[in-house]
C-alpha cells in the first residue's frame, strides 16, 4: 500500500496507538510553515504512552487565514492548539481571554477551547526554566539574554518572576529597551557590551537565531573568554542540538543545556489541558525527538 507507515509517519500519527474515531480528542499546531515541527511527534508519542484516545496534527495556516482557522477549529470540536511562527502575536488578538503569563510574555503559544471561549497561554518561559531545573541549574543571580524577540521576552519574564536579575542585549538597542520597559524589569545593554558582563553572570541565554542549522555567525570562543567558571550556557535553538555557542562553551569547560528540553517541557501544559494527562519529560521522549534531529 502507498503512503507512510505507522512507524514512519511524518506527522507522528502512527505513534498514537489508537484508531481515530468519534471519541478521539483532537489538537494540533498552527504555523506557516509548520512541516518542520516536532510537536506532532511529541504529542502523539505521549498519547500512545499514556493510552489516550487523542491525535495531534500539523495545521499549516496562512497568516491571512489564521483567525478564521482558529475559530473554525474551536467550532469543529478541537480541544486546542499550539501556535508557532508567525502567529503568536495574532493569537493574542484572537483570544477571548489570556493568562497573566501570556500577557506578560506578549505572545500566545498554547490555546485551549473551553465553553465556547478561546483561551491563550504562553508556556515558553516555564518550559525554559523547567528544562534548566531538570538539568540541575539553580535559577538565581544574573542572567544575560541575547535577543529581544518573542521567545526572549517569555524567557526574561519567567526568569524575573523567579527572582533572577535580567540583562538583555540585542543588536537593535531600541528593541531591548522596549522589552525591559514592557516587562517593568531588567536592564538593556548595547550588543557589543555583553561579553564584558559575563564575569558577573550565572546564566547566558541565546534567544536569537544565531547558530541555527549550525551556522557560526560570530566568534563564540572569543566572546566566552571572559566568562566565569560557574556560568551556565543555554541555547533555545535545538537544530542542531549542539549549536556553535554550546560547542564553544563545552570547549571552555562551562555547563551547557541545549534547547530540546525546552520544546518538551513547554509542551506538557498544553497536553495536560487538552488530554487530561500530565506527561513525563523522560529519557524515552528525549531519545525519540533527538533521533528525529539526526
CA 41 to chain centre: 15
Measured between alpha carbons, how far is 7 from 16 in angstroms, rounded to an integer?
10
Using DSSP bridges, classify how beta strands 232-235 and 203-206 pair: parallel, antiparallel or unpaired.
parallel
Contact call for residues 131 and 159 (beta carbons, < 8 A): no
* Residue of 88, 184, 247, 250 marked active site: 88
Is 170 annotated in some ligand binding site? yes
Q: How far is CA 226 from CA 181, 246, 287, in A?
A: 28, 16, 34
Is 11 annotated in some ligand binding site? no
Residue count (the chain): 294
Is 38 annotated in some ligand binding site? yes
Is 31 annotated in some ligand binding site? no
Is 157 annotated in some ligand binding site? no
Contact call for residues 22 and 69 (beta carbons, < 8 A): no
Is 109 annotated in some ligand binding site? yes
Measured between alpha carbons, how far is 112 from 132 in angstroms, rounded to an integer?
26
Is 174 annotated in some ligand binding site? yes
Strands (DSSP E) contained in 105-230 are 110-114, 117-121, 142-146, 165-170, 187-190, 203-206
Is 56 annotated in some ligand binding site? no
Q: Active site includes 88? A: yes
Is 236 annotated in some ligand binding site? yes
Measured between alpha carbons, how far is 251 from 271 in angstroms, rounded to an integer?
37
Q: What is the CA radius of gyration of the chain?
A: 19
Is 266 annotated in some ligand binding site? yes
Is 37 annotated in some ligand binding site? yes
Measured between alpha carbons, how far is 173 from 188 in angstroms, rounded to an integer?
7
Is 119 annotated in some ligand binding site? no
Is 175 annotated in some ligand binding site? yes
**Closest to 240 in 3D by CA, of 262, 220, 211, 265:** 211
Beta bridge partners of 190: 170
Is 171 annotated in some ligand binding site? yes
Is 172 annotated in some ligand binding site? yes
Is 39 annotated in some ligand binding site? yes
CA angle 125, 130, 136 (to 5 degrees): 135
Q: How far is CA 292 from CA 29, 38, 42, 191, in A?
A: 18, 8, 11, 34
Catalytic residues: 88
Binding positions for NADP(+) are 100, 147-151, 170-175, 236, 259
Binding positions are 37-39, 84, 100, 109, 124, 147-151, 170-175, 236, 238, 259, 266
Binding positions for shikimate are 37-39, 84, 109, 124, 238, 266
Amino acid at each position: 500500500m502507498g503512503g507512510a507507515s505507522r512507524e514512519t509517519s511524518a506527522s507522528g500519527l502512527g505513534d498514537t496507538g489508537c484508531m481515530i474515531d468519534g471519541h478521539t480528542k483532537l489538537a494540533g499546531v498552527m504555523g506557516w510553515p509548520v512541516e518542520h515541527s516536532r510537536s506532532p511527534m511529541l504529542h502523539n508519542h505521549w498519547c500512545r504512552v499514556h493510552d489516550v484516545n487523542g491525535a495531534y496534527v500539523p495545521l499549516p495556516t496562512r497568516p491571512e487565514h489564521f483567525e478564521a482557522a482558529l475559530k473554525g477549529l474551536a467550532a469543529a470540536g478541537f480541544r486546542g492548539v499550539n501556535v508557532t511562527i508567525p502567529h503568536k502575536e495574532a493569537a493574542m488578538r484572537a483570544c477571548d481571554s489570556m493568562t497573566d503569563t501570556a500577557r506578560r510574555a506578549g505572545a500566545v503559544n498554547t490555546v485551549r477551547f473551553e465553553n465556547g471561549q478561546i483561551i491563550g497561554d504562553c508556556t515558553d518561559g516555564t518550559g525554559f526554566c523547567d528544562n534548566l531545573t531538570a538539568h540541575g541549574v539553580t535559577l538565581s543571580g544574573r542572567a544575560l539574554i541575547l535577543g529581544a524577540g518573542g521567545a526572549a521576552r517569555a524567557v526574561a519574564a519567567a526568569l524575573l518572576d523567579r527572582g533572577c536579575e535580567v540583562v538583555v542585549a540585542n543588536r537593535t538597542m531600541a528593541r531591548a529597551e522596549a522589552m525591559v520597559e514592557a516587562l517593568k524589569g531588567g536592564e538593556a545593554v548595547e550588543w557589543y557590551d555583553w561579553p564584558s558582563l559575563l564575569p558577573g553572570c550565572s546564566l547566558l541565554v541565546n534567544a536569537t537565531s544565531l547558530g541555527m542549522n549550525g551556522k557560526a555567525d560570530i566568534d563564540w570562543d572569543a566572546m566566552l573568554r571572559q566568562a566565569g567558571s560557574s556560568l551556565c550556557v543555554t541555547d533555545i535553538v535545538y537544530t542542531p542540538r549542539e549549536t556553535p555557542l554550546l560547542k564553544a562553551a563545552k570547549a571552555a569547560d562551562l555547563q551547557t543545556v541545549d534547547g530540546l528540553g525546552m520544546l518538551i517541557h513547554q509542551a506538557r501544559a498544553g497536553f495536560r489541558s487538552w488530554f487530561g494527562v500530565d506527561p513525563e519529560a523522560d529519557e524515552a521522549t528525549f531519545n525519540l525527538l533527538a533521533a528525529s534531529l539526526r
